[in-house]
Amino acid sequence: MADDLRKMSLDIRRAVIEQSFRAGVGHIGSCLSIADVLAALYGNVLRGDGDDPARDRFILSKGHAVLALYAALHEAGRLSKSELDTYCTDGTAVSGHPDHALGPIELSTGSLGQGLSVGAGVALGARLSDSPSRVFVLLSDAECNEGAVWEAAMFAAHHDLTNLVAIIDVNGQQALGRTSDVIDMEPLSERWRAFGWDTHEVDGNDPDALAAQLEALPATSTTGKPHVVVARTTFGKGVSYMESQVHWHYWPMSEELYAQALAELDAAGASAGATIGER
């Protein structure tokens, strides 16, 4: 299982690199930081799919990293390769931010700070309906600059929404600089704890640790609080020249850098013993 999740993470990263190069678009660093979170969710954690009302919901509130979600959906068999290949082409719903017109996308996002409110509403609705659905919302650390995030945080804690899980991708970068230089959100876990959430810190680039943490959440909820997983990640994880480099929030790759990125991912796959060349 561990090898499977690592392979899935690598395959997500590879698809992110390939598709963003083909499409000539950016947001690569933000996608790479969440590849392991998505591998854990779509590889191990999320139950049910399609129109099943009891399915778990996943909302990508940091919608600009949607390419990683498409890649994860593809790995999970919920998005075909031919659909994935339309990413950012004319006329597609496989666009630069999530569009719910695309079947497996639960919520159209792209305006930061809105996903957690909607997720809390879905979680409240699920509880009122005695549905076993859990709701996972992935936010970015800089997204927590948005006041509406904290409105939702207060609401979810007040209403004891234990079926709601927020995951914060703490990659430390935002569009114009380091989060610590723009609006320092630390100590982030303490802030969430102060808002009434059960807080869990985890290595956000370790898919096994993430899966174990996420799977354990509802069972370990004895406090009646919603859960937040503060996932410490590396911006641009997996491609050496992108790691923690702010300009990879926006920049697309040159041909040379594209080849280097793929080579690094292949090398990582080989050293991890993951199967290479199945893409």
Residues that bind other proteins (CB under 8 A): 53, 100, 106-111, 114, 116-126, 128-129, 131, 147-148, 151-152, 154-155, 158-159
User: Residue 60's beta-bridge partner residues?
Assistant: 138
Using the minimum distance from each CB to other proteins, give the nearer residue, 67 or 122.
122
For other proteins, give the closer residue by CB, 53 or 177. 53
CB of 69 within 8 A of CB of 84?
Answer: no
Cβ proximity to other proteins, 88 vs 124, nearer residue: 124
Output Rg (C-alpha) for the chain, integer angstroms: 18
Q: Which residues pair with 228 in a beta bridge?
A: 166, 199
Q: Quote the least distance from Cβ 249 to other proteins, whole Å.
A: 22
Contact 75, 153 (CB under 8 A): no
Least separation in angstroms between residue 223's CB and other proteins is 21
Give CA–CA dist 242/28, Å, rounded.
9
Residue nearer to other proteins on the CB measure, 118 or 268: 118
Q: Kindly state the smallest distance separating residue 155's Cβ from other proteins, in Å.
A: 6
Q: How far is the CB of 200 from other proteins (least distance, A)?
A: 23
CB 129 → other proteins: shortest distance, Å?
7
Choose between 16 and 122: whose C-beta lies nearer to other proteins: 122
Q: Judging by beta carbons within 10 Å of its beta carbon (0-12, 13-18, 19+), is residue 273 exposed, middle or buried? A: exposed
Task: Give the chain's length.
Answer: 279
User: Cα dihedral sign for 17, 250, 101, 118?
Assistant: positive
Q: How far lies 75's CA from each of 10, 42, 120, in Å? A: 11, 8, 27
DSSP secondary structure, 184-205, as one string = ---SHHHHHHHTT-EEEEEETT
Q: Which is nearer to other proteins, 46 or 202 (CB)?
A: 46
The minimum distance between CB 53 and other proteins, in angstroms, equals 7
CB of 256 to other proteins, least distance (A): 39
195: Cα separation from own chain's centroid: 22
Minimum CB–partner distance for residue 71 and other proteins (Å)? 24
Nearer to other proteins, 149 or 274 (CB): 149
Query: Looking at beta carbons only, is 9 or 133 nearer to other proteins?
Result: 133
Per-residue H/E/C for 25-83: CCCHHHHHHCHHHHHHHHHHHCCCCCCCCCCCEEEECCHHHHHHHHHHHHHCCCCCHHH
